[in-house]
Amino acid sequence: MSDISELYQQVILDHNKKPRNFRKLESANREQEGYNPLCGDQLTLYLEMDGKVIKDIGFQGSGCAISKASASMMTAAVKGKTKDEAEVLFDEFHRMVKGELDPEKEENHLGRLTILSGVREYPARVKCASLSWHTLHAALENKDEAVSTE
């Protein structure tokens, strides 16, 4: 079994304590809710889209360290990216935390997001790490319904 400190790495703890882009975006033209009913995590994602580009992004909500850090790192990663680039990251991230993509062996665009790869050892926590990404995916698809990880 892997050491708990591989899951709770310093970078993750730091994002949890001081989440980036943790604010309501006044300029947002898209807003999306996400829930993880199992643990009560809740997240609101704000997007300012400029055509196909994510010009600005912010989030608010409450959740565990993994979900908060993941949301924080996600906003940092997708800001300035196009919708299509963000969707590629969503797909790769999702596969990484489910253990279907090994970022050390396969080519990917994840960059610093690979810090969250430790989650794959904790199946109960995969949902925590992917909540923000599912919410982003829904926002980009412009779905009206709130996202639930169930």
Any contact of residue 62 with another protein (CB under 8 A)? yes
Sign of CA dihedral 97, 40, 20, 11: negative
Please report how close the Cβ of residue 17 comes to another protein at its closest, in angstroms.
8
Candidates 4, 23, 31, 141: give the one binding another protein (CB under 8 A). Answer: 4
H helix intervals, 1-64: 4-7, 10-17
Distance in angstroms (rounded) separating the CA atoms of residues 122 and 43 = 21
27 binds another protein (CB under 8 A): no
Task: Quote the CA–CA distance of 28 and 19 in Å, as a whole number.
Answer: 19
As measured in angstroms, the least distance from the Cβ of 140 to another protein is: 26
Asked if 139 interacts with another protein (CB under 8 A), we say: no
The β-bridge relationship of strands 147-148 and 53-62 is unpaired
Rounded to a whole number of angstroms, the minimum distance from the CB of residue 64 to another protein is 4
Quote the least distance from Cβ 59 to another protein, whole Å. 15
Helices 65-78 and 10-17 pack at an angle, to 10 degrees, of 90
**Which residues of this protein are in contact with another protein, per CB under 8 A?**
1, 4-5, 7-8, 13, 17, 38-42, 62-66, 68, 122, 124-125, 128
